[in-house]
Chains A and B, each alone.
Chain A
């Protein structure tokens, strides 16, 4: 056996492809000083090496993904004109329209009544009984548009900027840009509905970024993370014995390959995994929460429990320096019975979300935690044939409401507007890519600098570059 030095312990070693790719991508993105710090950074966790491009107003983000496409018209963008044209029938056509945007259509009025809330006088449907109490914390935005009229492609676009699967998600980009804060917790956590959304895990995937940037879904039951729970019957002492034996094997082996950094990196990971098995369940344990907090979120009460659990976990995760939490609630795809379907959904999310905002405010975390509420598109003011009998709404990529709270957004303002029927955005009209640029901006990242070389070009979240939506920033 040759006992020479292992070649190339510097550049090009480590998790070979990834680290070089990592440098290749970020190296072009940030200056030489940052590059040097990455080179010095731990091989085991290149994700730690990130650095903001400018002073961030938000250090963390909680993205409330209202999967299925909530109707702006029935939540935060009242359209009294629809009362007048209710059930008027009309035709819309064109070979470039999907079944949901063509044929015989009926206008459908909103079954919800609206009020103005907070000092800012924000429009909200009256069934937002709790969220209306924190209206002044919220910045509503009505100018956003997307490209796709169908779920998985629209959801992919909201999450990754691209309608087609395979691009990194927003959370992956943020983690790639900023790195993780906490050693033993994943820094991009996803709290899905009990069922994964259409398009599946690619919605929080790492795309062409290295796999350490992918979102880690925490499941409501069983082992919260794949393979996190020890095998049945295993005890801490049992695992410790295994770890020690493994270390002795690996140390013996390393002697034959001096300088092969991957070996040391992997030895470190056995210890890290051992720690994670304890720290993750700790964070997920809600038993220490006082009763009044649980009640405030609606934890334990039938319609709100599921969302309350996720919002509480989101708070605990960001408190523990998890960088990006995305939670799913849905499905808001109410083609029929809009009153019933949206009514039930609002009731299930209203109280927990309001509690999350208040709780973060009380703990002094809201100022540097950005909360985003969005679906993949808005809904139409009209419906197809089904609308004639069971009032519902179809998909609408041309108009939607998204909102933000905390994290340096322009709270207490409503930006942009849709036309009098809510069919299309008409003021401060911006493509989703600009919204993505704005989210990154608030998190201290410049979309034009947050790039990664893949398939022949530097790719970025906005796909081809976008513009900051200045009015959304405080």
Chain B
């Protein structure tokens, strides 16, 4: 079959090389067309008997023109005022006329094989690479379409002919998608490659292959594919590897020595299916599960305990949302309820505190309103934030791209963006009183004293300044022969401005600085002290409260509908001062085009509830695929779709579409139980396979991408810290409550940082050692001051939603372990437990090494390792006998050099650091004798070794 009989047409501009190339390309191109199954709409007959149009014209309209329209015409002719390079590509006349840089796009210049246009769109002509952005480059088959068109004489039919051809051959070039409508007809008429719309289509009916000997449907689906692809899967992994893998996957911790699973790991017999399934159930039931899976969710929603930006105010009660998330994963809260509470908990009946706490989801982005800002812009920022994050988290569809223009790639018009935003039209924020609930009031820790001391310090500063100021004001009066009085006294007497003593009488540069520090410090404390109050960061429905700044916590107003009523409109270029037309609340119309979705109510309240119902509707395939893929990723360490926050048309289809649809359906049918999906995946044979291929390297990566072997990984930042605490015996497993503050690298902790108008307080650790040794999920997360240890191991910035952790390997990671007093102190603690002070005999040292290996790796050392370790112990003991240990200095105060904002002059002040003075010290190496110090050095190395860091 020849699709393009025009190949024999007279070649107007060709040379023989060009001619041969086109033939060659056509040979390649024809099977490609056949494969994609696109009906090109015409056959051998030339001209096409049905329509009277030549195949080359049809080819132009169906294959070339769409590219011209979407990629070239925006700069070349659509805007008559601004025609780039003087070249219009709106019609044949413009094409023939050429532009400033050339007169004929058909020309084949000397020394080149192809016409100028082809070279330009192949981006091989210097300074004329088109389209200008490399990331917009035309695809090879698009360039081929141009080649074929030019080879056939570059026909360009009239507008009427184009319209007729379009009508006759409408289905030929991809799929039209019906949406609520773009800002231009061109966008509405845009066609999509059918396979690129996979994420929006209804879930397919997956037929589970029949194979009676395989129980788990995941295995049935995968093994059928492996067979088809000729893949030999990796063998099953051994119990020891599997149990460690399972513990980290579900708990983020190493196996617990002395427990049942640990003994199972030690036993050489492979676990049979029933005992494996039992183990999976036991670990799923352990509350550590919520701490690990909750962390995945917190990464997505950008959890932090502070607001970021200029003030970085502490969000005192953000932790209640964090605990809610952990509770939800542990209780396997049905997905519908989980979504509903987070998007619309305040719209639900009843007085379950979790309903309100959950709406903290909508508060997680960085946001503030300062007096310097335009409230309307800050408000718009909030609306844009919740719109986009809701799309990313629940639909794997970022919406931000559609804020200013119809989405460039995905079927999301700007109208949808603002309809989605209208769901949040009356959503306002507050720090509302929410009772403690079943968990009860959190224990009061000594850290509260530190807050109190800081408050006293600031108040004392202000009192001292007032005393000094009042005296200076009286002095000012005396100098002028006026009756001595303070400014406020003078104001009360109604004296004119000329007789009022200056507001800042007697202030030195330092006084100005201290005044700001104290005032700002008290303002910051008003947020921080809410950690201990029965308060939560929530949303409510109401009018915009018409405030110009948001500098202290706000309770829900008594009359929420007093204030400015907003209307959500399509905003030109995303600018809140350029509304185009009002929109009604709605969700993504593309899903309506593909399935049928429940409508969103146009009432003052209940909009978010309706959105949550829309998201969790059984036929919302996009949302179901999104969460199914996430659970698979969290369990398997690799997603079926590798961009879990974006399933749009530019995303390659899932590695295994059938499997994803099966999981999505299974999840829906199991009542939205994440644990049920966990269980299904974890009990599959696929999950239990080795990280090793049997007999060859997997050059193409297909074993991993088809889940025929496990993908190993480095531990995450939290896992590294928590595991070090765990194996050394220091981990405090208590759950929930206000955030704790571990020791932070000292220079970072004391690094002065500016907040609006002044400086933020230093990082001060929790006073009780046990508080500092809690799991990382409970540590204070400040946007403006991130823990460098966590950061260097890829803990994500809370400014962006993070669906997959990075796994970088950089030398600073090594330094963060070796030069870190906190890591050493963990080793010291374990050394104090396992090293016998009196034990100097050789076999005593062997015992120490064995115990250290047993604790850190859960196994005994090999003979080679034993020899190396004994040698190292000896070297270290010799070193420590000659060198007295030096303590890391713990400061009680810090002197800061700062520049005062008003005057631009430098000043110095001293910040008190009560927590460092009050805190229980960490275990210190100096408290051990040299032999035990050597053991601590050994353990310190083990804690940093590759064996500790990688999971197979």
Q: Which residues does A use to contact B, with CB under 8 Å?
A: 1-12, 14-18, 28-29, 43-44, 68, 95-100, 149-153, 164-166, 193-202, 205, 207-208, 210-212, 216, 219, 221-223, 225-233, 235, 237-239, 241-242, 245-246, 248-250, 252-254, 257, 259-260, 262-263, 265-267, 269-270, 272-273, 276-277, 330-337, 340-345, 395, 446, 448-449, 451, 453, 455-458, 460, 465
Contacts and interface: CB of A to CB of B under 8 A. Distances in A.
B746 interface: yes
B148 interface: no
Interface in B693-724: 693-701, 703-704, 709, 711-714
Given A28-B134, A198-B754, A340-B904, A231 B819 contact: yes
B493 interface: no
B481 interface: no
Interface string B415-437: 00000000000000000000000
Q: 5 closest A-B pairs (Cβ-Cβ)?
A: A341-B904, A458-B135, A7-B698, A195-B752, A232-B886
B37 to A, nearest CB: 26
A198 B134 contact: no
A210 B808 contact: yes
18 contacts: A2-B235, A7-B698, A10-B699, A29-B134, A68-B901, A100-B372, A152-B309, A165-B366, A195-B759, A198-B309, A207-B797, A226-B816, A241-B872, A249-B942, A252-B865, A340-B904, A344-B904, A456-B409
B941 A231 contact: no
Given A267-B946, A270-B814, A330-B899, A17 B692 contact: no
A212 B799 CA distance: 18
Contact of B903 (A197, A212, A337, A456): A337
A387 to B, nearest CB: 13
A83 B455 CA distance: 47
B896 A194 contact: yes
A242 B704 contact: no
A277 B815 contact: yes
A151 B310 contact: yes
Interface in B859-887: 862, 864-865, 868-869, 871-872, 875-876, 879, 883-887
Interface residues of B, number: 135
Contacts of A226: 745, 747-748, 788, 792, 812, 815-816
B401 interface: yes
Contact of A451 (B135, B818, B944): B135
Contact of A211 (B645, B810, B885): B810
A150 B902 contact: no
B280 to A, nearest CB: 22
Interface secondary structure of A, over-half rule? loop
Contact of A269 (B237, B698, B800, B809): B809
A416 B584 CA distance: 45
Contacts of B941: 242, 245-246, 249
A342 B692 contact: no
A105 B466 CA distance: 31
B884 to A, nearest CB: 8
B811 A265 contact: no
B134 A344 contact: no
A201 B792 CA distance: 13
Given A153-B309, A241-B875, A457-B650, A98 B372 contact: yes
A211 B819 contact: no
Contacts of A10: 697, 699, 701
B808 A195 contact: no
B898 A232 contact: no
A239 B814 CA distance: 12
Contacts of A248: 868
Most buried by B among A11, A201, A237, A332: A201
Nearest to B864: A252
Contacts of B17: none
Contacts of B691: 6-7
B899 A227 contact: no
A8 B707 CA distance: 13
Contacts of A17: 804-807
A200 B816 contact: no
Interface stretch (B159-167, B316-324, B778-786): B778-786
B312 interface: yes
In the complex, which of the residues B370, B713, B901 has the most CB atoms of chain A within 10 Å of its own CB atom? B901
Nearest to A4: B692
Nearest to B396: A456
B896 A276 contact: no
A228 B751 contact: no
A336 B512 CA distance: 13
A96 B904 contact: no
A5 to B, nearest CB: 5
B812 A273 contact: yes
Contacts of A272: 811, 814
Contact of B401 (A100, A227, A265, A457): A457
Nearest to B576: A96
Nearest to A335: B902
A331 B899 contact: yes
Given A16-B807, A246-B945, A458-B135, A273 B372 contact: no
Contacts of B310: 150-152, 198-199
Interface string B558-596: 000000000000000000110000000000000000000
Nearest to A184: B811
Most buried by A among B374, B693, B789, B864: B374
B277 to A, nearest CB: 23
Given A7-B709, A99-B371, A269-B810, A455 B872 contact: no
Given A11-B700, A99-B548, A457-B650, 15 more contacts: A2-B692, A10-B701, A18-B807, A28-B134, A96-B376, A198-B756, A201-B786, A226-B788, A269-B811, A272-B814, A276-B815, A449-B134, A455-B646, A456-B650, A465-B132
A332 B409 CA distance: 43
A265 to B, nearest CB: 5
B648 interface: yes
Nearest to B799: A166
A199 to B, nearest CB: 7
Nearest to A242: B941
A233 B374 contact: no
B262 interface: no
B463 interface: no
A344 B900 CA distance: 11
A241 B876 contact: yes
Interface in B503-562: 548
Contacts of B905: 340-341, 344
Contacts of B373: 98, 149-150
A210 B784 CA distance: 20
Contacts of A97: 374
Contacts of B945: 246, 249-250, 253
B392 interface: yes
Contact of B944 (A202, A246, A262, A263): A246
B883 A233 contact: yes
Contact of A8 (B377, B703, B806, B949): B703
A342 B783 CA distance: 31
A276 B813 CA distance: 12
B344 interface: no
Nearest to A259: B697
B238 interface: yes
B281 interface: no
Given A150-B372, A228-B819, A336 B902 contact: yes
A193 B752 CA distance: 9
Nearest to A206: B797
A195 B754 contact: yes
A262 B809 CA distance: 8
Interface in B121-176: 132-135, 137
Interface string B641-671: 0010110101100000000000000000000
Residue from B753, B885, B938 having most chain A Cβ neighbours under 10 A: B753
Contacts of A242: 818, 937, 940-941
